[in-house]
Structure 1
Amino acid sequence: MTKIVTLYNHKGGVSKTTTTYHLAHALVEHLGKKVLVVDADPQCNITELFLFKIIEDLDIQESNGMETFLPGTSVKDALWPRLEGERPNVDVDSIELVQPDPSANLYVFRGDIALNEAEDRLSYAHSQRTTSDMHQKRNHVAIHDMLRRLGNRDGFDYILIDVGPSAGALTRSFFLACDQFLTPVAPDRYNYQAINSLSEILNKWLNEHQQILIDFQKLRLNISQRCPIFKGLIMQRFQRHNGTAKPSYQLWIDKIKKRTNEVLIPSLRNSGGKDTIHARTISNVSAAEIPDFASIAPMMLQLGKPAWKLEKRETGWKGKVWEDRSKMMNDIKKFFFDLAEHIEND
C-alpha cells in the first residue's frame, strides 16, 4: 500500500521544499522505492527543483520565439473538473506524471501557480461537510481519493506532498490525506513560538476530521480512515562547530524539543488519539538534525541535483574547499538516508 507523507509547518523559511526534494531522492536511491512527489504549493518551488533541466531547455526554446508548455498534468488541472462538479471524482487515468530522470524511479505531479484558485472551493466544501450537499462532500475528499487511486494505479511505495507554509483549506486537504507527517523547524525564537500555533491548527483539523468519519464512511466516500501520524521534528538550518550545534543554536534546539513534548504531542493525542504519535517519537522527538548546507545549497539549486551528487568538475571547488565540501556532502547524504529509514520504519 502506498504511504503518503508530508513535511508540514505553517512557519515558512524552514527548508521544507529542499528537505522534501532530498528525502525523495534518498528513498529512491537508498531504499529502492518508487516515489511520487506532489507539488501542492502554488509557489511551485519543488516543481522547479525537479524539472530544472526541462525548464532550462524550454526557456532556450522560448528565447528563440517558440511557444512551449511544461510536460505532464498539473495538480490544478487534475482537480478542477471534480471541483467544478463535472465528474464524480478526479479522472486519475488521464493524469500524466513527469519522470525527470528516466533512470530513476521518481516521478513528479507538477505544480501550478493557479492552484490557489482551489482555496475558496475547498474552504466552502469544508464548511458544508456536515450538510447533505453531496457535491461538496465529494470535493472535501477529492484530494485524498485522487492520491490513493493514483498510488494504486502506478504502484508507488511513497507519495511525498510538498505543501505550502499556510493554514488554509488547500494545505489542510493535502495534510489530512497523509499517513505520516514530519515538522521541519529552524532553531530560533520564531520557530519556538510557532509550536503553540501549530498545535492549535492541527488540533482543530484533526478534531474536525474525526467528527465526520462515520458519516462519510456510511456514504462510502473515500475519506482517510485515521489521522496522520506525527513522526517527529526535522531540525535544520543551524551551524556546527566541531561536529555539534553552536551554543546559540543548541539553546533553541533544546527549547523547541521541550515545547514539542509539552504542547504539540499532548495536543495531537487529545485530538487524534494516542495513535497519532509514532512510538519512537516519544523517546526522541527529533527525527533528524540536519545542519546548514552553507554554499552547497545554492550549488545544488544551480545544478538541479541532490547535494551528495555534486561533482568536483561542475562545482569549481578545489583543494581544501573541495575536501571540506565533499565531507559535508557525505554528511548530508547520511542524514537523508537515515531519515528515509526513519520514514520506512513503522
Structure 2
Amino acid sequence: MKSVAFFNNKGGVGKTTFTYHLGYALEKLGKRILFVDLDPQCNLTAHLCDEDTINDAWSTDGNSIYKAIAPIVTGAGDMQTINPYKVPNRNIWAFIGDLLLSDFDGELSNAWTQVLAGQERGFRVTSSIYRLINEFAEQNNIDYILIDLGPNLGALNRAILLGCDNFIIPMIPDLFSLRGSQNLGRVFADWISNYENAKQRIGNLNFATPNGKPVFSGYVLQQFNVYRTRKTKAYQNWGGQIPTYIQEFVINPLTAVDPNLSLTLANFQVAEFKNYHSLVPMAQESLKPIFELTNQDGVIGAHYQYVDNCRNEFGDIANYLSSII
C-alpha cells in the first residue's frame, strides 16, 4: 500500500484531473484504488459522484470525510470511522470531500502547537485523517491511496503531507507555476524536522501516527498545448526551467534534512499530460475518464483519436508510476 499526495502551492495546474485519470488507469492494471478528496473545492468528488450521492454524503447521516473528524471539531471526541463511497463495478473507493473541512484547519493549527510541545492530544488530532485512511486501506487491501490537496500551505495539508509516503507536484509551463514551487521544499523541510523532533520527545503512543517522511516523487507537466505534433512556445519558454527550479527549491531543502526524501529520477519528470480541452468537461459530466468516453457521451470525429491518445498516455503513466512507487 502506498499513499501519494498531489500538491502544488499554485492552483489551476490540473492536479485533480490528473489524479482522477491516474487512479482509473491504475485500476485498469488491476490495482485497488482509494481516492481521498481533501481540497475544499471538492473537484475530485465532483469527478467521481453525481449530485445525489454528494447530497447524501453531506446530509446529517452522510459519509463525507468531514463526518469522520466532526467529533474533534465539536469537542465531542476522537475521529469516528466512516465508510467511503464505492464506485459501482470498479475497485475504486473515495472519501468524499466536504466544504466544511475548512472548519478543521483551526483545530489542526492548535494541534500543531501541541505536537511541538510534545502533547499527546496534538498527535491524536493531527493523525486523525491519516488513521481513518490507513485503517480502511489496510482492511480492504488497497494498493494506492491517491490524495488531492488544495493549493495552500495550511494546517490540513501539513497534517496530510506528513502522513503520505510520496508526493508529486503537478505543474504547468508558466511563470506562476514555477513561482508556486519556490517555497515548497523549504516549508516541507521545516515541517518534517519539527515533527521528527516532536516525535522523539513524545515517545510511544497507543495509536498510529504518521511517519512524517513524505518522499518527493517527481513532477507532472500538464495542460500544455500541442500544435502539429509540437509543443507550443510556452512549453519551450517555461517547461525547460522546471528541473532547475525543482532541484533548487524542492530537492535541495528536502535532502538537506534527509537524503532519502527524494527519489532519484532523470530530470525529475514522471509524466506529461497535455491539454484535452473540451474532452475534460465531457468526462466530468459523464463521470468517466477521458479514455473511457464513447459516442454516447458525445465523442465525435477527431475526438476518437484524442480518446485513444489519452488511453495510451495514461497506460504508460500508470505502468511507470507503479514501477517507481
Is the shorter-chain TM-score for this pair beyond 0.5, marking a shared fold? yes
| Alpha-carbon distance in structure 2 between the residues aligned to 1:263 and 1:255 | 12
Q: Which residue of 1 aligns with 2:271?
A: 288
Q: Which residue of 2 aligns with 1:90?
A: 79
- The 5 Å alignment of 1:69-80 reads 69=59, 73-80=63-70
Larger-Rg structure: 1
Per the TM alignment, residue 18 of structure 1 is displaced from its structure 2 partner at its CA by: 1.0
1:252 aligns with 2:242: no
Is the 8 Å Cα contact of residues 216 and 223 (structure 1) preserved in structure 2? no
Is the 8 Å Cα contact of residues 9 and 181 (structure 2) preserved in structure 1? no
Where in structure 1 are there 5+ consecutive unaligned residues?
Answer: 60-67
Residues 6 and 71 (structure 1), Cα distance of their counterparts in 2 relative to 1, 3 Å cut? farther
1:233 paired residue among 201, 208, 219: 219
Report the secondary structure of 1:302's partner residue: helix
| Alpha-carbon distance in structure 2 between the residues aligned to 1:152 and 1:297 | 32
Is the 8 Å Cα contact of residues 2 and 145 (structure 2) preserved in structure 1? yes
Per the TM alignment, residue 137 of structure 1 is displaced from its structure 2 partner at its CA by: 2.6
| Alpha-carbon distance in structure 2 between the residues aligned to 1:148 and 1:33 | 16
| Alpha-carbon distance in structure 2 between the residues aligned to 1:39 and 1:55 | 15
- The 5 Å alignment of 1:72-151 reads 73-84=63-74, 86-87=76-77, 89-92=78-81, 95-101=82-88, 103-131=89-117, 133-151=119-137
Q: Which residue of 1 aligns with 2:18?
A: 19
| Alpha-carbon distance in structure 2 between the residues aligned to 1:69 and 1:274 | 46
Is the 8 Å Cα contact of residues 220 and 270 (structure 2) preserved in structure 1? yes
- The 5 Å alignment of 1:118-197 reads 118-131=104-117, 133-197=119-183
With structure 1 as the length reference, what TM-score do the two structures score?
A: 0.86
Report the secondary structure of 1:167's partner residue: coil
Q: Percent identity?
A: 28
With structure 2 as the length reference, what TM-score do the two structures score?
A: 0.92
1:275 paired residue among 247, 260, 267: 260
Report the secondary structure of 2:86's partner residue: coil
Bigger shift: 71-80 or 212-221? Answer: 212-221
Deviations 1:286-329 (A, max 9, x none): 11111111221121122221001111243152xxxx2x322222
| Alpha-carbon distance in structure 1 between the residues aligned to 2:234 and 2:303 | 23
| Alpha-carbon distance in structure 2 between the residues aligned to 1:212 and 1:333 | 45
Per the TM alignment, residue 218 of structure 1 is displaced from its structure 2 partner at its CA by: 2.6
Deviations 1:211-230 (A, max 9, x none): 22323443354222251111
Amino acid at match of 1:296: L
Residues 311 and 216 (structure 1), Cα distance of their counterparts in 2 relative to 1, 3 Å cut? farther
Per the TM alignment, residue 145 of structure 1 is displaced from its structure 2 partner at its CA by: 2.1
Amino acid at match of 1:17: T
Number of matched residues?
A: 323
Where in structure 2 are there 5+ consecutive unaligned residues?
Answer: none
| Alpha-carbon distance in structure 2 between the residues aligned to 1:304 and 1:178 | 27
Structure richer in helix, relative to its length: 1
